[in-house]
Amino acid sequence: MASVTLKGNSVQLEGNLPSLNSKAPMFSGIAQDLKTMNLSDFTGKVKILVGVPSLDTSVCAMETKKFHERAAKMDGVVTVVISGDLPFAMKRFCTMEGINSPNLVTLSQYRDFSFSKAYGTHIADGGMKGLSARAVFVLDKNDTIRYVELVPEIASEPNYEAAIGEAKKLL
């Protein structure tokens, strides 16, 4: 079981992060149109999986916008942002921020926590219990994990350049 911090306070996570070069665990989430999507819906593409607590926080909002600006224009790459937000809130956020690329998908894990539990980012205690810690995973076209970043401080941003650089190498 890993731990991260939130404003310096320790936060325990459930499960284990998947290892580099291992097969990515399957997960599902609810899209903005309330349809269930699975990892297999992105077959044949390089995938940047972005786990965040909520798009309704400044760091998560900024992170989603930065991935939209930097990665959503890359052909053959899909960025999937997974959070605990309801699909309606995710749709409102994307509309307000002008995020409308088919290469950036938001998925809600409000019905289940298959992403955060399978990827070891599920917050097990404290005020954010049940949400995902901030993490980025890059998967190749065959769903092999090629990059893993668990951001040690939930209130901090990930290393965009490293994640996007890895995705570019996989094209």
Q: Which of 48, 60, 131, 148 is catalytic?
A: 60
Token pair of 33 as six digits: 């149109």
Cα 106 to chain centroid, rounded: 9
CB distance 94 to 32 below 8 Å: yes
User: Rounded to 5 degrees, what angle do the CA atoms 62, 54, 137 make?
Assistant: 75
Residue 94 appears among annotated catalytic residues: no
Q: Report the distance separating Cα 92 and Cα 3, nearest Å.
A: 31
H-run or E-run covering 118: helix 114-118
Q: 3-state DSSP call for residue 72?
A: coil
143: left (phi over 0), alpha (psi -120 to 50) or beta: left
Widest distance between CA atoms in the chain? 40
CB distance 64 to 49 below 8 Å: no
Catalytic residues: 60
